[in-house]
Amino acid sequence: MSIGLGHYLALAGVLFVIGAIGFLTRRNVLVNLMSIELMLNAANVTLVAFNRWHPNDHTGQVFAFFVIAVAAAEAAVGLAIVLSLYRLRKTVLTDRANELKH
């Protein structure tokens, strides 16, 4: 039995759904950031899987590299916002985040 493109796409779909459910159901900002990272990794699995399907073209790997760069920047900015929220409100729940504008 060989692992084909469908297996990679199924794995990416499962990862994306887990990330989306985690983002939509949790109120903790750190869990939301981890869920976003999981969804970005699902997109990377899809890009690399399609790149493996077309081995002469490296576009999928290049896009995956840029997604990783964006994810690193998102994590840095997100963690800075979480630290600011915790310092001001002593909580990391998203319900209290909209109180920062007052």
Cβ atoms of 38 and 75 within 8 Å: the answer is no
pLDDT attached to residue 44 = 95
CATH number at residue 65: 1.10.287.3510
pLDDT attached to residue 85 = 82
pLDDT at 65 over 90: yes
Cβ atoms of 49 and 12 within 8 Å: the answer is yes
This prediction has a pTM of: 0.84
pLDDT attached to residue 101 = 64
Percent of the chain with pLDDT over 90: 56
What Rg, from alpha-carbon coordinates, does the chain have? 17
Range of the domain at 88: 5-101
- Distance between CA atoms of residues 50 and 12, nearest Å: 12
Q: What are phi and psi of 90, to 5 degrees?
A: 60, 30
